[in-house]
Amino acid sequence: MQEPTLLLLTALADEPRHGYALMQEVAEISNGRVRLRTGTLYGALERLQREGMVRVEREEVVDGRARKVYALADQGASALAEETARIRAVALEAERRLALRPRLKGVTA
């Protein structure tokens, strides 16, 4: 699972949102670091629906603009929980090893 996908699922984790709102939510979660392109967004949403991670909760029209509201499926919530557990473990191990790393250039100062 790559970061755009991880952020997408995270943005859906607390409550259902529509596509455009997801773009903004992902940008906010990542402190503006990750800006989802529409190609990535809608492509990923389709794929995640095929995989049973996400479903369309409802379709609505607000101010004459059509919206699809997506929700995190139970399977998506499980996958997200597993993924976060995995990457936390790897991050912990990476930090442990970095601390063990022999320092090179005058880091002792």
Partner DNA sequence: CGCACATATGCCGGTCACCGATATATGTAA
Partner DNA sequence: TTACATATATCGGTGACCGGCATATGTGCG
Q: Which residues bind a copy of itself (CB under 8 A)?
A: 1-3, 6-7, 9-10, 13-15, 29-30, 33, 72, 74, 77, 80-81, 83-84, 86-88, 90-91, 93-95, 97-98, 100-102, 104-105
Among DNA, a copy of itself, none, residue 39 binds (CB under 5-8 Å by kind):
DNA
Query: From the CB of 62, what's the least distance to a copy of itself, in Å?
Result: 22
Part in contact with DNA (CB under 7 A); list of ranges 36-44, 71-79, 80-88, 93-101:
36-44
Q: Which residue has the tokens 């984790």?
A: 13
Taking the C-alpha atoms of residue 15 and residue 12, their distance in angstroms, rounded to an integer, is 6
Query: From the CB of 6, what's the least distance to DNA, in Å?
Result: 7
Annotate 17-53 with b (16+ C-beta within 10 A) or e (fewer): bbeeebbebbbeebeeebebeeebbeebbeebeeeeb
Q: Which CB, 9 or 107, lies closer to DNA?
A: 9
Contacts of 68 (CB under 8 A, 6+ apart): 18, 19, 56, 59
Query: From the CB of 17, what's the least distance to DNA, in Å?
Result: 9
Phi and psi, residue 50, nearest 5°: -60, -35
